[in-house]
Amino acid sequence: MIGNIKVLQTNFFATIQDQGRFGFSKYGVPKSGAMDQISLAIANLLLNNDENAACIEFAFQDLVLKFSEATIIVLTGAYVDAFLNKKKVKMYRRISVQKNDVLAVYNYRKGVYGYVGIVGGFLSPLVLNSRSYYKTITASFYLKKNNKLIYNGRGEYKEQLFSTISESLFFRDYETLKVYPGPEFFLLSEEQQVILSDSYFTISKNYNRMAIVLEEHLTNTFASMLTGPVLPGTVQLTPSGSLIVLMRDCQTTGGYPRILQLSEPAINHIAQKQVGDRFRFKLSNQF
């Protein structure tokens, strides 16, 4: 039986995301996908879903959803207070949902991006082989009040689950983020390279799905350069000395020096850091 979730309360940061849109960078199409791919994967594993099943990604503000049919959901990612019909529920556990139940998510205690996974995944339209929202690519690019999200209702869903997962195994406040030298890294002076390796950096208020700007600056001595390819996790150095960490919705090309490239786990970890959080880059030449 096909069910739907009615969005009762939402915000600009709530979207539908899967692993992302691959193979279209040459056309200028961003990859998108879940900001924290680890949390997305855990949600789908707990539900025995396909690994690319779409989930709701939420961040920063409250989210309230009403279900039209019985199903099973899980909550992963940022630590939040979640309630089903005003009764508190745990994260990283299967949650049985009945017809007309209401899920409410409040209070971001740690982290930024959380995920609502559902049995079978959300059935938003496939666009370029992905259900991930992105402005100009999909008809919707964030969840709006009264939107209805389609899913496969599974009745009472009798399957038992006795194993548990400790969220602490996956969600940690990593102080160091593994990075690799970017294409322009070795054009930096030795002093600049040392600064990148030995300094702490801080997440600024300039933060979204496209990029995270760091508070600290690094003197830019580069001449102007031609536009080149960039990826999620690329760290760019602007002419003013700002450091910009590109994220999942980033453009596919850029004209600033690409001095570092975050590892895939590091992209997930930095996505969950809040404004004011500090970290260090750990440079590696081992891919």
Beta strands in 125-229 (DSSP E): 148-152, 176-181, 201-207, 211-217, 228-229
Tokens of 53: 């099943």
Q: What is the pLDDT of residues 250-270, one digit of tens each?
A: 999 999 999 999 999 999 999
Indicate the helix (H) or strand (E) that contains 150: strand 148-152
State residue 152's pLDDT score.
85
Alpha carbon dihedral 68, 122, 108, 211, in 10-degree steps, equals -150
Q: Block means of pLDDT (10 residues each) for the chain, length 287 residues?
A: 92 95 95 97 95 96 96 95 97 95 95 96 96 95 96 63 59 85 95 95 97 96 88 96 97 96 97 96 81
Q: What is the pLDDT of residues 138-181, one digit of tens each?
A: 999 999 999 999 998 764 455 565 556 665 555 667 899 999 99
CB of 167 closer than 8 Å to CB of 74: no
State residue 221's pLDDT score.
87
Task: Provide the 3-class DSSP secondary structure of residue 244.
Answer: strand
- Cα separation, 132 vs 191, in Å, equals 41
CB of 32 closer than 8 Å to CB of 81: no
The two counts, helices (H) then strands (E), for the chain are: 3, 18
